[in-house]
Amino acid sequence: MEVALIEAELGSRGETTSGTGGYTFLGENTAAAYGKKIYSREETSNSDVNCDDFPSSGSAQKYFLRHGGPQRDPNGLDRDGDGLACEWGTYLREAVRKAKSLQASRSISRRARSTCYTGPRGGTYTLTASGNKNYDGC
């Protein structure tokens, strides 16, 4: 529950990673529940609270967790029973995908910059991601 609340707080702030170097992706484990019916949702809600009342799905998830979720859903914010309110699972999956993609492109970029070559006239250069020589890189 504590991890879920932390993820919801970070998500409501627009964060996608946590941890040293940004290698722990927000919701990486929680997103695995997306779309899987884990909790029974037999009760109907007459609540005035709905997903449109929140500025983000992270804010909705925080509210949901603080008001009985995921075991109970008195406001009907998690109708499919996956424990993720108001498209929070969709947000998590997209955040993880984007963060991993960004990390991969940064990793490729760092590797390309880290190798310094010496040209035929003694000048040094690195290779850019597109394969061009960068004479300012060493």
CA 16, 18, 22, 27 torsion-angle sign: negative
* pTM over 0.75, yes/no: no
Q: Where are the domains of the chain?
A: 2-134
pLDDT digits (tens, 9 = 90+) for 30-84: 777 777 888 888 766 677 899 999 998 888 999 999 998 888 888 889 988 888 8
How far from 17 is each of 6, 14, 70, CA to CA, in Å? 12, 10, 23
Residue 5 has pLDDT above 90, yes or no: no
Query: pLDDT at position 24, please?
Result: 61
Return mean pLDDT, the chain. Answer: 77
Residue 22 has pLDDT above 60, yes or no: no
